[in-house]
Amino acid sequence: MLTRRVVLTGLFAAVLAPQTALARPRKKVFVINPEYQPQYVPFDSSYAPGTVVINPRGRFLYLVEDEFTARRYGVGVGKAGRAFRGSAKIGRKEKWPHWMPTKNMIRRQPEKYARYADGVAGGARNPLGARALYLYRNGRDTYYRIHGTNEPWTIGRAVSNGCIRMINAHVVDLYARVPIGARVVVI
């Protein structure tokens, strides 16, 4: 016996299988632009290997590998990230860091930030994401951070608050590659 298989599409499928036609559409999955994925790129540099170079205007962070190559990551840049210039060192690193809005953030937008005045424990809902690298100058915290984010769609954009945001998987990768004491240069 020969069996024919018929594939129904469009209106016919909806009539014969209404439960499929009326099913809720699936939530759109965020897909990052490929240029913001970690990748090795040519990087003509006078910086020592292991130096982190951040270009806030270009929305990229580079980890210098050698005098001709760097590992590039896409970033989102907050107001603090656009204002910070010069060099610093990674003075501290944290896994699933605690987050607390600054007094200025609470003053500017109390309806959004006042409820978090005591901070948010580390975890998936924490704005600092999976990892944070804290930048220090002359042994003092600059309050400038390289950190993950629970808003991956902000990568490649200027964002309202924060410093340098990375996709959580990307900041976990950077965290593993960069030791405390590494030099960071913001150009």
The catalytic site residues sit at 147, 163
Provide the residue type at 13 as one letter.
A
8 Å CB contact between 135 and 185: no
How far apart, in Å, are the Cα atoms of 4 and each of 1, 16, 42, 60, 83? 10, 18, 56, 55, 67
Instruction: Write the DSSP assignment of 54-112 as a string of letters.
Output: EETTTTEEEEE-SSSEEEEEE-EE-HHHHH--EEEEEEEEEES--B---HHHHHH-HHH
Contact present, 54 and 75 (Cβ < 8 Å): yes
Count the neighbouring beta carbons within 10 Å of the beta carbon of residue 47: 16
